[in-house]
Structure 1
């Protein structure tokens, strides 16, 4: 089994603008680049090392991972399974529109209102299963290694659910992952 840590990307344009991004491929803002540099420096100065960095191919996560990779002298690999949950018709909509589109089909997490089902969105069951496939492959490829996964909020929560052996619903109630937070699993 691999030792896995999950890092959420730095602030992107949609985060800044209060929009639901999902798979929209927005770049980091100036603050997001600063956050990525700071987390990279914190890891380097703290003597933290990884054997592997895997990142979502979406630029906000990949840019964050590359900043960390440069600081730790590691090449970043992308993995499609780390792509954020598909938000369907909510992609690009204001966060304040969640109830408008999802009605009561929501779950209040720590600082986040999660929509459970909307038209065209990936379900949390599907996202959880994707995280399970990812971790199975990571454990097979990198057994005994320290692996940093740089990704997004919802898929990051599903990785936590699988690794902690809890339901996706319970994972959504775990503490919120702010931009560039790292969770050790």
Structure 2
């Protein structure tokens, strides 16, 4: 049996769009103040969790890059950083920037019922899953025992559905908080989910520098 690697999936920290319920997609927003602190707390958590160094892979969007850079600096456990565009958020097309309430109820029903539904100018959940499948396979070629991936809600949920071997529409029945952690065990022969939407680290006391 082939050797497995540990994959730590981190959703980026909060942005102003997350805080106000707006669809963010490919809009390149920075972290807000809470999001910056959340990223610090993820880094401190991974400093405790990781026995050795890990390679860090992240989406090219700013909110993921900021989260990744803070994790690398805070944890002290990152040996290499790689940008992989297949971990970018779902393309919501013309829905980008809208408040969730501005998308009509019929559209939401159609979206939930059909994983091939594509927002105007955007991509479907099936298309996200297809690229995430390729991205997961590439992680095996990095030569690391542990890999941290900083990404977004839709790609991370796609990775979880692939690990569980369930249908794509299960993403609508799962919650994934900002700066949460999911964990996979990954090999060339199998995928399994070992942790989902971990948020205990976000309740840690804030870091205070005395120097």
Q: Does 1:149 align with 2:149?
A: yes
Cα deviations by residue, 1:122-163 (Å, 9 ceiling, x for unpaired): 101100000101011111333x61111100001110111222
Match for 1:94 among 84, 91, 99? Answer: 99
- The 3 A distance-change label for structure 1 pair 38 and 103 is closer
The one of the two structures with greater contact order (alpha-carbon pairs below 8 A, sep at least 6) is 1
The CA deviation at 1:6 is 0.7
Alignment of 1:100-111 (within 5 A): 102=107, 104-107=109-112
Give the structure-2-normalised TM-score. Answer: 0.76
List, as ranges, runs of 4+ consecutive aligned residues in structure 1 with deviation greater than 6 Å.
Answer: none
Give the structure-1-normalised TM-score. Answer: 0.86
Secondary structure at the counterpart of residue 148 of structure 2 = strand
Moved more, 66-75 or 6-15: 66-75
Q: Contact 1:36–1:64 (CA<8 Å) still a contact in 2? A: yes
Q: Where in structure 1 are there 5+ consecutive unaligned residues?
A: 109-113
Alignment of 1:131-150 (within 5 A): 131-142=132-143, 145-150=145-150
- The 3 A distance-change label for structure 1 pair 115 and 128 is closer
Match for 2:28 among 9, 25, 38? Answer: 25
Match for 1:72 among 53, 63, 75? Answer: 75
Moved more, 47-56 or 75-84: 47-56
> What's the RMSD between the two structures over aligned residues?
2.2
* Cα distance between partner residues in 2 of 1:13 and 1:101: 27
Q: Contact 1:102–1:116 (CA<8 Å) still a contact in 2? A: no
Q: How many residues align?
A: 177
Structure ID, larger Rg: 2
Alignment of 1:165-184 (within 5 A): 165-174=165-174, 176-184=175-183
Aligned to 2:197: none
Q: Contact 1:98–1:115 (CA<8 Å) still a contact in 2? A: no
* Cα distance between partner residues in 2 of 1:162 and 1:12: 27
